[in-house]
Chain A
Amino acid sequence: MNHRSSTGDILLDAREVTKEYRLGGAFFGARAATLTAVNRLTFSVRRGETLGVVGESGCGKSTLGRVLLRLEDPTSGSVAFEGEDIVRYDHRKLRALRKDMQFIFQDPYSSMNPKMTIRDIVLEPLDNYRKDLSVARKERLAGDLLEMVGLTRDMMRRYPHEFSGGQRQRVVIARGIALNPKFVVCDEVVSALDVSVQAQVINLLADLKQRLSLTYLFISHDLRVIRHVSDRVMVLYLGQIMELAPADELYEGPLHPYTRSLLGAISKGDPRNRQERVILRGEIPSPLNAPRGCPFATRCPIAEARCHEEKPPLVERSDGHAVSCWLV
């Protein structure tokens, strides 16, 4: 999937997108805290590319995906899809928009209603948008979709619990592409799968992208998978962008100390080459009391006084490599 898209036109443009959650504080106003899951993210997704989003737990990568598709509303900021700000879309326009943007979920177990047949699951989006189609026509379409994701038509009358994780994930993908969307957010779609099945699903997604001219936002914690599927990669930490660069560049010449630590921490998968892993000290701070300055400053091996005080801006260099660090 690594064929580089030219600067290309922009499909989705996020400006200062922020999502806060208020925790606690119900009826009689117990004390409420604010959790900033996504903190003023600005980036764009080009038509036809796969933008990888990588980060550890609590970095806001899943929230970001949900906010971009307006499964949740951002607290502030704007999201432009094909040039139109969708944050202020009302119910009706949003419904029309959902056809073009789809979400593929991480857990192939909880992302399907256990009481529905595979046919009904795959047809749900078509039932909502293609009321013009006859039942027989839709039935045929459901079969086509199943075949497209490498399943067979005779599975339609069966239930999710009768399938393995990999097969379920294929059903979820079939549902995701049923409306022929332009933009698909894949949230940890292969994380729950066995290694031998994971590769099949990655290949399937690449194949569908080609055939249906899709654009992906591919969210994962797995640096290897991200490397394989992405054209560009965005590294998140505590809801903020640390680094955003073309995949090859990011993996071969990481600039941000956090990206370097991440890449240094993971195994090379080579028993002869057990070089000292870069062990990052400490733990990810709670997003409830994120550091005031650079979010990574508390664990950064090279942090200076300034890093703890002031948040570094995301600066884009000429080659499209953007970093948010005072010391780079």
Chain B
Amino acid sequence: MKDVLRVENLTVEFKTEEGTFTAIEGVSFRLGEQRTLAIVGESGSGKSVTSLAIMQLLAENGRVTAGDIVLDGEHLLQLPPEQIQHRILGQQISMIFQEPMTALNPILTVGDQITEVLFEHQDISKRDARARAIDVLREVGIPSPEKRIKQYPHELSGGMRQRVMIAMGLVAQPKVMIADEPTTALDVTIEAQILDLLDTLKREFKTSILFVTHDLNVVADIADDVIVMYAGEIVERGSVLDVFEKPKHPYTRGLLEAMPTLSGTTGDLPTIPGVVPSIATRPAGCRFHNRCAFVHDRCRSESPAVHRVDEQDVRCHLFDPAITRESE
């Protein structure tokens, strides 16, 4: 299968008053054509930094210090900023944010915001742009789009705003759409609508989706492949079935167990002890070692490599083939 987006060994640093910190380190993954890849992680895992780095939207004090981002054969990090601005962003790769209210411009109508994306990148007449805007709004399930394009964001409900964001993201038919927690701010019933919509649109628009979320349940429903991030590193990668049914990394296992289920659980929930480390307090060795139930001496001092187990990649000493052979 062809990879639309390839990220190799991506490393991002942030300069702060307290010093320079590495937010993500050695992040590599591939996103196949018309696939949905979920990046799942908790706060401080680096999942959002990863998506922002791809979009080149890092805050001023953030910098990609190593790695390669290849979108359909083009090395994005080597392109000049104007090219990125004109040819790539919004056109070949677009982003949907968590909070559509702040991501939409409050003083522009819905129609203006969608057509703006088109004017930015394409030579298109006003009338055509308007027609395209109406079409795409209809595609994302907004009723009477002819009327809606004249409305302002505050006149729409949260779910409708998220649909508008998706319409903006799709109108230029990008190859990749990055969705950063697109349903986190929405109610359950609206979340279901939006997830369903994304899945349908992915096929219609032949787009690949990079879905960033903290919610494993959403991942189970929408992803083809999953990356689990912890403290700035990928700790596990695999197909959604493998990761959910045969989780390898102790962190992934812990996360899956810690979720209460709908079928009813009683007694104490299994937990992962301790807290998610902040960027400044990441431990040496394996970054998960101080919360891990399977910790041994090596984990405290030596950072684990990525090991291939079955169809999954795992960053954990437990799966080091050298060790496994020894114990056999």
Contacts and interface: CB of A to CB of B under 8 A. Distances in A.
Q: Do chains A and B touch in the complex (CB under 8 A)?
A: yes
A265 B188 contact: yes
A209 interface: no
A225 interface: yes
A239 to B, nearest CB: 15
Contact of A200 (B188, B214, B223, B271): B271
A270 B278 CA distance: 30
B189 interface: yes
Given A56-B187, A267-B221, A202 B269 contact: yes
B262 A164 contact: no
Interface in B172-217: 187-193, 195-196, 214, 216-217
Nearest to A228: B260
B269 A164 contact: no
A318 interface: no
A247 interface: yes
A306 interface: no
B42 interface: yes
A5 to B, nearest CB: 14
B42 A279 contact: no
A166, A197, A248, A267 interface centre (most CB from chain B within 10 Å): A267
Contact of A224 (B195, B259, B273): B259
Contacts of A270: 220, 244
Contacts of B220: 267-271, 274
Contacts of A261: 189
Contact of A228 (B42, B241, B265): B265
A193 to B, nearest CB: 9
Interface string B32-49: 000000000011000000
B261 A224 contact: yes
A271 B192 contact: no
B125 interface: no
Contacts of B271: 196, 199-200, 203
A247 B254 contact: no
B275 A197 contact: yes
B17 interface: no
Given A224-B262, A279-B193, A197 B276 contact: yes
B157 A247 contact: no
A183 B36 CA distance: 46
B143 to A, nearest CB: 9
B52 interface: no
Contacts of B255: 195-196
B301 to A, nearest CB: 24
B268 interface: yes
B190 A251 contact: no
Nearest to A270: B220
Given A199-B258, A202-B269, A271-B221, A283 B160 contact: yes
Given A195-B259, A248-B264, A283-B157, A265 B272 contact: no
B106 interface: no
A1 B196 CA distance: 34
B187 A228 contact: no
A166 B42 CA distance: 12
Contacts of B260: 199, 202, 224-225, 227-228
B217 A196 contact: no
A213 interface: no
Nearest to A165: B43
Nearest to B269: A199
Given A202-B269, A247-B264, A271-B240, A280 B189 contact: yes
B192 A265 contact: yes
Contact of B189 (A56, A166, A197, A206): A56
B84 interface: no
Interface string B74-112: 000000000000000000000000000000000000000
Contacts of B193: 279-280
A132 interface: no
A207 B267 CA distance: 10
B304 interface: no
B229 to A, nearest CB: 12
A194 B276 contact: yes
A140 to B, nearest CB: 26
A212 interface: no
B245 interface: yes
Contacts of A269: 216-217, 220, 259, 261-262
A31 interface: no
Interface string A208-245: 00000000000001011101100000000000000000
A324 B266 CA distance: 28
A262 B192 CA distance: 10
Interface in B245-303: 245, 254-255, 258-266, 268-273, 275-276, 278, 291
29 contacts: A164-B278, A195-B255, A195-B258, A199-B259, A199-B269, A200-B273, A202-B260, A221-B188, A224-B259, A224-B262, A227-B260, A227-B261, A227-B262, A227-B264, A228-B261, A265-B189, A267-B220, A269-B216, A269-B220, A269-B259, A269-B261, A271-B223, A271-B244, A272-B245, A274-B220, A277-B192, A280-B189, A283-B159, A283-B190
Given A203-B269, A266-B188, A266-B217, 17 more contacts: A164-B276, A167-B275, A194-B276, A197-B42, A199-B259, A199-B260, A206-B268, A224-B217, A224-B262, A251-B263, A269-B217, A269-B220, A269-B259, A271-B223, A271-B240, A280-B192, A283-B159
4 tightest Cβ-Cβ pairs between the two chains A and B: A228-B260, A56-B187, A194-B42, A265-B192
Interface of A: 1-2, 56-57, 164-167, 194-200, 202-203, 206-207, 221, 223-225, 227-228, 247-248, 251, 261-263, 265-272, 274, 277-280, 283-284
